A and B are shown apart, each in its own frame.
Chain A
Amino acid sequence: MSPLKVVASSLRVGVLQFPGSNCDADCVDALRRHFQIEAVLVWHQETKLPKLDAVIIPGGFSFGDYLRSGALAAHAPVMQEVKKFAEKGGAVLGICNGFQILVESKILPGMLLHNLSQTFICKTVHLKDPAGNILTMPMAHGEGRFYVDKKALEVLNEEGLIAYQYCDLKGDVNEASNPNGAAANIAGLYSRNKKVLGMMPHPERATDVAMGGSKDGLVVLRNFIDRI
């Protein structure tokens, strides 16, 4: 409602805004409430990033998701800058549509296809990280079925780039715990230098037990901030 307050903070985090972004305010709110970080909103037409330590690409329907999710946003001026930022080792977190944009920009490999059900799915899912921790948070997307070919999948496995896999409460990664048909139940992916993370579920929506019973999203955000 009110214009975002700007408070000094040691970390400069930019949250991108495309026409159709709709989780930008939620990301800003989560960073402020839990990490005392006042994020800077960065408009899609910017041809130069402000001085930033990290970039978040929020969820939404950038450019209406016309053509394909994230396809048009990947060609926005600001993404050329984000690409350079990532190449220089900058920390980037893409959530939902942000993940789609990262993939369409080829900053992360693979594709995000329509869910196997061909419907939008909003539900609480469990995620397993490489250390075996199980995190709970909501997902909400129509095009989140991660796909890479077998060979590329092997590479992701070998290099340990799979950040999160959909699993059940006990941590079993199987077909029954795969909500959208993603290859190897992949919900989130790192870049080679592990500085870029793209994920379909929404950590910013699980930052307080009053929001659906989980604050595991804070773990994801904390890890992201630690990687900066």
Chain B
Amino acid sequence: MYSEITLADAQKGANFPAASAISSSAGPEFEALLKQHKISGPEFQKILGIKGRAPSLTELGVFSAMWSEHCSYKSSRIHLKRFPTTGKNVVVGPGENAGVVRLEGQMCIAFKMESHNHPSYIEPYQGASTGVGGILRDVFCMGARPFANLNCLRFGEKTHPRTPFLVPRAVKGIGDYGNCVGVPTVGGSISYDKSYNGNCLVNAMTLGLIRDDKIFKGFATGIGNLVVYVGSATGRDGIHGATMASDSFAAGAAGATPGASKTTIQVGDPFAEKLLLEATLEVLEKNLVIGIQDMGAAGLTSSSFEMAGRAENGVYFDLDRVPVRAKEMTAYEIMLSESQERMLMVIEPKKWLELKQVLEKWQLAHDIIGVVTNTGRMQVTRNGVLEIDLPVSPLTDDAPVYKRPVAAPVEKTAASPNLNSLKQRLDSDFDFAATMLARALRETGSKQKIYEQFDRHIGTKSVLGPEHGGAAVMWIRSDETKAFPYLGVAIAAGCNERRVKNTPSIGAAEAVLKCVREISAAGGRPLAVTDCLNFGSAEDPSVMREFSDSVDGISNACRQLDVPVVSGNVSLYNSTDGVSIHPTPMIGVVGRVEDIRQVTPAVYGPGRESADIFVLAPHSVAQQLGGHKPARSDKEPNTVSFTASLAAKLDGIECTQGELAEVDWESEKAAFNALEALRAMGCLRVVRSVGEGGAGLGVVKMLADHLAHKPSIKIHMTHATQFFGEGGARYLLILAPDALKKAAVKVTEFGMSLDLVAQITFDNKDKVESYFGTTSTASLNVEYQSAQPIGGLG
């Protein structure tokens, strides 16, 4: 076709006969139609006001998608406003396709995390892979070249029948997509909990490099400019994906009746994505486009409305020109399809031939499908019928905003006898304690079966990856940062959902803190935060309490640590049959590394030299653990306890039991400063932050690569709280030779202590010794290596 579309064409199209309105007479048929589109009664009244009469079916579909929770953030918006989003390094804050933070000079990092939970539960391979595709496009449509992917996964119990089905497929989906596009997957987090039995979480994060003067945004500016469709042809896949992602599952939706919801699942083609990536970066580099937006959730609908909305313009589309996979596709289907690997570009007519050349070089389908108008309206025709004629702004800016009921804070229940006795049982029953270590290793052990399926080195920037047990570190070499030849970026992502469930305001703050600790342990300083807020139903006031408190917790941590939130995503309605997931505000933090030659892994690497492991902790924590100054209560800041701990989970104790200690920000910051000082003195070899499972588990995991080598590991911990207790600003360190003396003196300047907690010697004795006795390293290795429910795909 390839002829231009003019404003006269748009005017002509606007005068086509309008599609017939839906019948809005009350009755079961109408009720069913609204329900199917998840439009409430009051929302329909609002639609009548905007349209002036009943909408066409296609228009109703557009409202349904644009006002879905997924696209409009209607339940979360009022809370998200509370995030601190500004700072001296922020270049682009929330609201764009991705946030952008300055790294050095003109060189910036664009990054964001996004969920693809619902599709991944129904069809894990496609769901997870298109999740990666979507976040990649969000980053490269701004003009940034992606250089790192991470993923945060949550699945149901390993014994749940669906878990071993989901995990290998989701992992393969993530790997196949990123590997083919050529972006290394360098980190993330995974855990298993019964709260995800009916709703897994697949959150994907991408980082891209971009110069501050090359950032593109999705604006449909310039009346008469052309709207160009680029990428894969539109098919019937993923129709109403955004609406689905805004609803809870009933038992029949996924596992029980496969196929029932599969038409809402998108199918990914990473090869098409790679071509789209290269073509997009080339046209942006050549300045051929005015505005660009990927077609993600709600496809052509949301991309066009968002671009027109931002520019306060109108858009006319002739859908007969959209490349389609099936001839008879209706306007409804074309507008709502979520076919993958597509972009919408706005260009000046004179750039068309040059743009076409680039798109043909990369073998991408393309056509002019519309024009930017001054009508302020979205007008869309198909087969000579005006299918959509709606004002733009009421659908974007004036989308409904709900102040959902928020339940009163949950009264803390007293710790159950089981939680109260856990410490004492671990202290006195040595078999129980030894078994606990083995089970903790099986629960949280090696992720090798996952990350070995991810290309982790492509791009040759990877310095630290998942095999190093902590934050990922990438080496940024660019012409723009030549004065800093060893400049790097550290990235960490995760969240301990049990602690969030216990006390959202503390647990969510700790999620930020956990990432910052990992970045600090690796040798970086945090710059900014992205989040992916996975919660249950927005219509459940107790969920909204968790949501609201989590937003406050994240905000508090961001203020304390001086890291703004620059991008994010909300996924509500993660519930099945009325059971909501644990609140899971997944956090991703990006940091700056001055010199990648100074970074430290979180595991003791190759080589078979004996080593001493020290714990770096605030004096108050050291005193508590040394028994010199027991905490008055678990709630006292910096207290190490068993509340919501891994040991409690493995003992079958609900994570809502007991109280979490408040974060002691001063101690946390003191620890960061102490680590920086030790690093500057060249004292550090291995640094691991103590988290889930406590310092004892941390020691074993730090040394896990050597369990197969049958060493002796002596863990000088004398009681269960030291070994399995969680909390407190603690780090495990292996120091450089002869560094102990100066390091021990230095840390006291920061109110910290350095104590020997473990030793490893390679003597073939095959034993781990601690307060509860001796275990074989080989047997612990079996547990450690069996952590992931990944066999074959069967």
Chain A residues within 8 Å of B, Cβ to Cβ: 1-3, 19-20, 22-23, 25-26, 29-30, 59-61, 63-66, 118-123, 138, 140, 142, 202, 204-205, 207, 210-213
Are A120 and B275 also in contact (CB < 8 A) when A23-B458, A140-B458, A211-B475 are?
no
Measured CB to CB, the closest approach of chain B to A143, in angstroms, equals 12
Interface residue? B427 (CB, 8 A): no
| Distance, CA A118 to CA B453, complexed state (A) | 11
- By the criterion CB–CB under 8 Å, are B453 and A119 in contact? yes
- By the criterion CB–CB under 8 Å, are B460 and A26 in contact? yes
Residues on the A chain within 8 Å of B731, using CB: none
Are A211 and B270 also in contact (CB < 8 A) when A118-B792, A120-B175 are?
no
Which of B182, B285, B606 meets A60, CB within 8 Å?
B182
Give the residue name and chain of the A residue nearest to B460 (CB): A26
Give the residue name and chain of the A residue nearest to B281 (CB): A1
- By the criterion CB–CB under 8 Å, are B172 and A205 in contact? no
Residues on the A chain within 8 Å of B605, using CB: 213
Are A122 and B271 also in contact (CB < 8 A) when A1-B145, A19-B363, A140-B179 are?
no
- By the criterion CB–CB under 8 Å, are A210 and B269 in contact? no
- By the criterion CB–CB under 8 Å, are B475 and A66 in contact? no
Given A23-B182, A204-B460, 16 more pairs with CB closer than 8 A: A1-B209, A1-B479, A2-B479, A19-B274, A19-B363, A22-B274, A25-B459, A26-B458, A29-B460, A30-B460, A119-B172, A120-B453, A122-B451, A202-B457, A207-B460, A212-B457
Residues on the A chain within 8 Å of B179, using CB: 61, 120, 122, 140, 142
Residues on the A chain within 8 Å of B272, using CB: 64
What are the 4 closest A-B residue pairs judged by CB atoms, nearest first?
Answer: A22-B182, A64-B271, A140-B455, A61-B180
| Distance, CA A63 to CA B596, complexed state (A) | 35
Q: Mark B357-380, 1 if CB is under 8 A from A, else 0.
A: 000001100000000000000000
| Distance, CA A63 to CA B180, complexed state (A) | 10
Are A122 and B211 also in contact (CB < 8 A) when A19-B362, A64-B271 are?
no
Q: Mark B450-490, 1 if CB is under 8 A from A, else 0.
A: 01111111111011010000000001011110000010000
Residues on the B chain within 8 Å of A66, using CB: 271
Residues on the B chain within 8 Å of A1, using CB: 145, 209, 211, 478-480
Are A19 and B275 also in contact (CB < 8 A) when A140-B455, A140-B458 are?
yes
- By the criterion CB–CB under 8 Å, are B457 and A140 in contact? yes
Interface residue? B1 (CB, 8 A): no
Interface residues of B in 222-274 (CB under 8 A from A): 269-272, 274
- By the criterion CB–CB under 8 Å, are A22 and B271 in contact? no
| Distance, CA A25 to CA B475, complexed state (A) | 15
Measured CB to CB, the closest approach of chain B to A170, in angstroms, equals 13
Measured CB to CB, the closest approach of chain A to B100, in angstroms, equals 15
Are A20 and B271 also in contact (CB < 8 A) when A26-B460, A140-B457 are?
yes
- By the criterion CB–CB under 8 Å, are A210 and B182 in contact? no
Which of A61, A118, A213 meets B793, CB within 8 Å?
A118
- By the criterion CB–CB under 8 Å, are B455 and A211 in contact? no
Interface residue? B597 (CB, 8 A): yes
Interface residue? B181 (CB, 8 A): yes
Interface residue? B176 (CB, 8 A): yes
- By the criterion CB–CB under 8 Å, are A213 and B271 in contact? no
**A-B CB contact pairs (8 Å), 23 listed:** A1-B209, A2-B478, A19-B363, A22-B458, A23-B182, A23-B458, A26-B458, A26-B459, A29-B460, A59-B458, A64-B270, A64-B271, A64-B272, A66-B271, A118-B792, A120-B172, A122-B456, A122-B457, A123-B452, A202-B457, A210-B463, A211-B457, A211-B463
Measured CB to CB, the closest approach of chain B to A201, in angstroms, equals 11
- By the criterion CB–CB under 8 Å, are A121 and B452 in contact? yes
Give the residue name and chain of the B residue nearest to A43 (CB): B361
| Distance, CA A164 to CA B285, complexed state (A) | 41
Give the residue name and chain of the A residue nearest to B455 (CB): A140
Residues on the A chain within 8 Å of B463, using CB: 210-211
Measured CB to CB, the closest approach of chain A to B288, in angstroms, equals 15
| Candidate in B182, B453, B462, B475 with the most chain A CB atoms within 10 angstroms | B182
Which of B275, B363, B460, B477 meets A205, CB within 8 Å?
B460
| Distance, CA A123 to CA B465, complexed state (A) | 11
Measured CB to CB, the closest approach of chain A to B522, in angstroms, equals 13
Residues on the A chain within 8 Å of B453, using CB: 119-122
Residues on the A chain within 8 Å of B181, using CB: 22
Residues on the B chain within 8 Å of A3, using CB: 285
| Candidate in A25, A119, A122, A204 with the most chain B CB atoms within 10 angstroms | A122
Measured CB to CB, the closest approach of chain B to A34, in angstroms, equals 11
Residues on the A chain within 8 Å of B479, using CB: 1-2
Measured CB to CB, the closest approach of chain A to B782, in angstroms, equals 17
Interface residues of B in 160-186 (CB under 8 A from A): 172, 175-176, 179-182
| Distance, CA A143 to CA B285, complexed state (A) | 34
Residues on the B chain within 8 Å of A65, using CB: 180, 271
- By the criterion CB–CB under 8 Å, are A205 and B269 in contact? no
Are A205 and B274 also in contact (CB < 8 A) when A1-B478, A64-B269, A120-B179 are?
no
| Distance, CA A142 to CA B270, complexed state (A) | 15
Residues on the A chain within 8 Å of B362, using CB: 19
| Candidate in B180, B269, B479 with the most chain A CB atoms within 10 angstroms | B180
| Candidate in B457, B459, B605, B793 with the most chain A CB atoms within 10 angstroms | B457
Residues on the B chain within 8 Å of A30, using CB: 460
Which of B271, B458, B480, B596 meets A210, CB within 8 Å?
B596
| Distance, CA A119 to CA B168, complexed state (A) | 10
Q: Mark B3-21, 1 if CB is under 8 A from A, else 0.
A: 0000000000000000000
- By the criterion CB–CB under 8 Å, are A213 and B457 in contact? no
| Distance, CA A213 to CA B607, complexed state (A) | 12
- By the criterion CB–CB under 8 Å, are A61 and B270 in contact? yes
| Candidate in A1, A60, A63 with the most chain B CB atoms within 10 angstroms | A1
Measured CB to CB, the closest approach of chain A to B23, in angstroms, equals 46
Measured CB to CB, the closest approach of chain B to A215, in angstroms, equals 11
| Distance, CA A4 to CA B282, complexed state (A) | 13
Residues on the B chain within 8 Å of A59, using CB: 458
Give the residue name and chain of the A residue nearest to B364 (CB): A19
| Distance, CA A171 to CA B404, complexed state (A) | 65
- By the criterion CB–CB under 8 Å, are A20 and B792 in contact? no
Residues on the B chain within 8 Å of A122, using CB: 179, 451-457
| Distance, CA A1 to CA B145, complexed state (A) | 7
Give the residue name and chain of the A residue nearest to B183 (CB): A22
Residues on the A chain within 8 Å of B475, using CB: 210-211
Residues on the B chain within 8 Å of A20, using CB: 180, 271, 274-275
Residues on the B chain within 8 Å of A22, using CB: 180-182, 274, 458
Measured CB to CB, the closest approach of chain B to A35, in angstroms, equals 15
| Distance, CA A55 to CA B272, complexed state (A) | 26
Measured CB to CB, the closest approach of chain B to A67, in angstroms, equals 12
Give the residue name and chain of the A residue nearest to B362 (CB): A19
- By the criterion CB–CB under 8 Å, are B271 and A63 in contact? yes
Give the residue name and chain of the A residue nearest to B168 (CB): A119
| Distance, CA A170 to CA B148, complexed state (A) | 33
- By the criterion CB–CB under 8 Å, are A213 and B462 in contact? no
Q: Mark B198-235, 1 if CB is under 8 A from A, else 0.
A: 00000000000101000000000000000000000000
Interface residues of B in 303-320 (CB under 8 A from A): none
Residues on the B chain within 8 Å of A2, using CB: 478-479
| Distance, CA A210 to CA B176, complexed state (A) | 26
Q: Mark B477-521, 1 if CB is under 8 A from A, else 0.
A: 111100000100000000000000000000000000000000000
Which of B451, B460, B478 meets A211, CB within 8 Å?
B460
| Distance, CA A142 to CA B177, complexed state (A) | 13
Measured CB to CB, the closest approach of chain B to A2, in angstroms, equals 5
Residues on the A chain within 8 Å of B792, using CB: 118
Residues on the B chain within 8 Å of A142, using CB: 179
| Distance, CA A1 to CA B146, complexed state (A) | 10
Residues on the A chain within 8 Å of B478, using CB: 1-2
Residues on the B chain within 8 Å of A19, using CB: 271, 274-275, 362-363
Measured CB to CB, the closest approach of chain B to A183, in angstroms, equals 22
| Distance, CA A2 to CA B477, complexed state (A) | 12
Measured CB to CB, the closest approach of chain B to A28, in angstroms, equals 11
Which of B176, B451, B606 meets A213, CB within 8 Å?
B606
